[in-house]
Structure 1
Amino acid sequence: MKHVVSRKWLLARLYESDLVIVDCRFVMGQPDAGRAAYEESHIPGAVYLDLERDLSAPVEEDGQGGRHPLPDAAELAGRLSRVGIGNDSRVVAYDDQGGAMASRLWWLLRYLGHENVFVLDEGFSAWKKGGYPVNADQKVLIPSTFLATVQHSMLVEMEEVQESLGGEERVLVDSREAPRYRGEVEPLDKKAGHIPGARNKFWKGVLQEDGSFKSPEALAEHFADLPRDKELVVYCGSGVTATPNVLALSEAGFEKVKLYAGSWSDWISYAANPIATRDE
């Protein structure tokens, strides 16, 4: 796979000097749980980056930008530099949330022009359960220099989504669970439903029962009903769990894939935006 590495792959490279391992564990609604888990035990040498403090900007009062707005590129580049990530680093991200948080960092690094980034398959619990090494040692951080080259083409803004409604040049992909997509429940946002015309592909559908990513061939089959000749715009509730779908679409060979980073929580912050509540 292009973007996902195995436990054996990481173990073999654990102490190579250009490798930076990033613990991205985070529990929605429990903002301190991820760091606490990291401090208790982590993959040796790993540094910690927090979804809300490091990998998101502060939430705007009007909700525009969504619940996890994209961080400022220069500020994020500074944070990456401080934990030792430079332009020559190989980065492996992991979490314990099926790859959702690790995929956020994977996407952000690629958005800043850094291609040499991977997600650890199955995450921390599988690593530990498999008998691979863990410890609680805090790595001495040696700052590096990360210079961002922002890839604006990876992103779609809300106005572009508005303009494409009812058109045929883009296909919207909603990454949330089906009941949320259909508007039957909404545990996190103020309005229920989905962006009109969006197709539902729950992000956990890219995983096998054991929590590992499906093979590229299986992912191609999973996404077989999506067109390869049109631009796919992937979103979720806040732009986080859309990123495993973006990663998986790339693994499946789709080339025209973009992220609507503000996602549903941004969309509903504009009162005039239409909402749909049925299967499409």
Structure 2
Amino acid sequence: MAPESVDRAPLISIERLAEQLGVGKAAAPSGTVTLLDVRWSLAGPPGRDLYAAGHIPGARFVDLDHQLAGPHGPSGAGGRHPLPSTEDFQAAMRSLGVSDDRPVVVYDAADATAAARAWWLLRYFSHSDVKVLDGGYAAWSAAGLPTVSGEAPGTSELGAATGTGNFIAVPGAMPVIDADAAAKLAIEGVLLDARAAARFRGDVEPIDPVAGHIPGAVSAPTRDNVGPDDRFLPSEILRTRFASLGANGMNGREVGVYCGSGVTAAHEVLALELSGIRAALYPGSWSDWITNPNRPVSTGE
């Protein structure tokens, strides 16, 4: 394997993860990292099927819809993927072996769209050491690194933590905004819409009942954060991209991000962090915004 490039926290390369897991060594270090498999797609199939077919040894499957989201609020308030309660999230992460004193690495199929949701939530609930596997499972398997099939066993493989963790969830470590703050930010700061450009314009809306975007928001599709290999673009390219959208981290303008339901927006927050820009996430996003008919909707560019 090629040597790892300069560390790009909060990302981790497949080479560095393999080293931490002791791949190729006679004995792997015990309990060095907790691995979470967050493969998920809005259109399906269930990520657990992909996990059972093959995953990184020692990884535990995370159900995004149930472990990384709370129940829907009345009339859809909070959006399609509301934030889970502190108690529920703590219990879910402990059941997956997450502990405060052990690093966590999250991955998904390839482009980190789903893994970023787990990264953001763990950071929001105050875990201090969480990284996203750049390139995900596709990069790992393409490199010929070991994979296993079936459900996760009760004992660790390649040093990955299993069993009950001791993670203590404390909310508020990452900035969030609600609908009113998002509307204000669209006027006084920079509000980025992480959905595909066609959904931003209102040309199509395959998921939510209303098409369009929050007035004043700027289209910034998540897909543009990664290259053809589904790995994040270099930080300098990301900085140039976001600066062209008005978010340069130096003009004093606050930055917020939303998407359809708060999942891909986390990917944008991650890309902004790689650019040196701290951004707030609107957890309910568009699916929450449209629950109030009095909130305005814009279409077009």
Is the TM value for this pair above 0.5? yes
User: Within 5 Å, which residues of 2 pair with 1:201-220?
Assistant: 201-220=220-239
Letter in 2 for 1:129: A
Gaps of 5+ in 2: 1-7, 22-27, 155-161
TM-score computed with the length of structure 2 as normaliser = 0.88
Identity %: 38
Tell me the equivalent position of 2:157: none
Question: What is the CA–CA distance in structure 1 between the aligned matches of 2:41 and 2:272, rounded to whole Å?
Answer: 25
Letter in 2 for 1:25: R
Tell me the equivalent position of 1:62: 75
Query: Per-residue displacement from partner, 1:227-266 (whole Å, max 9, x unpaired)?
Result: 32211110000000011110010110113x1000100000
Tell me the equivalent position of 2:196: 177
Deviation at 1:115, TM superposition (A): 2.3
Tell me the equivalent position of 1:38: 51
Query: Per-residue displacement from partner, 1:142-188 (whole Å, max 9, x unpaired)?
Result: 201111121165111123224x16632x2110001111000010000
CA RMSD of aligned residues (A): 1.5
Pick aligned residue for 2:282 from 238, 246, 260: 260
Query: Per-residue displacement from partner, 1:114-144 (whole Å, max 9, x unpaired)?
Result: 1200100111122112201100252314201
Deviation at 1:41, TM superposition (A): 1.2
Tell me the equivalent position of 2:12: 5
SS in 2 for 1:223: helix
SS in 1 for 2:121: helix
Cα distance change of structure 1 residues 90 and 7 upon mapping to structure 2, 3 Å threshold: same
Check conservation: 2:260, 2:286, Cα contact below 8 A: yes
Question: What is the CA–CA distance in structure 1 between the aligned matches of 2:46 and 2:85, rounded to whole Å?
Answer: 24
TM-score computed with the length of structure 1 as normaliser = 0.94
Deviates more, 1:55-64 or 1:268-277: 55-64
Letter in 2 for 1:6: S
Deviation at 1:27, TM superposition (A): 1.8
Cα distance change of structure 1 residues 166 and 46 upon mapping to structure 2, 3 Å threshold: closer
Question: What is the CA–CA distance in structure 2 between the aligned matches of 1:165 and 1:95, rounded to whole Å?
Answer: 31
Question: What is the CA–CA distance in structure 2 between the aligned matches of 1:130 and 1:149, rounded to whole Å?
Answer: 37
Check conservation: 1:203, 1:244, Cα contact below 8 A: yes
SS in 2 for 1:261: coil
Question: What is the CA–CA distance in structure 2 between the aligned matches of 1:153 and 1:131, rounded to whole Å?
Answer: 36
Deviation at 1:61, TM superposition (A): 4.4
Structure 1 runs of 4+ aligned residues shifted over 6 Å read: none
Question: What is the CA–CA distance in structure 2 between the aligned matches of 1:178 and 1:135, rounded to whole Å?
Answer: 38
Question: What is the CA–CA distance in structure 2 between the aligned matches of 1:167 and 1:184, rounded to whole Å?
Answer: 23
Cα distance change of structure 1 residues 258 and 181 upon mapping to structure 2, 3 Å threshold: same
Letter in 2 for 1:28: L
Deviates more, 1:211-220 or 1:59-68: 59-68
Question: What is the CA–CA distance in structure 1 between the aligned matches of 2:56 and 2:185, rounded to whole Å?
Answer: 45
Question: What is the CA–CA distance in structure 2 between the aligned matches of 1:166 and 1:259, rounded to whole Å?
Answer: 13
SS in 2 for 1:233: strand
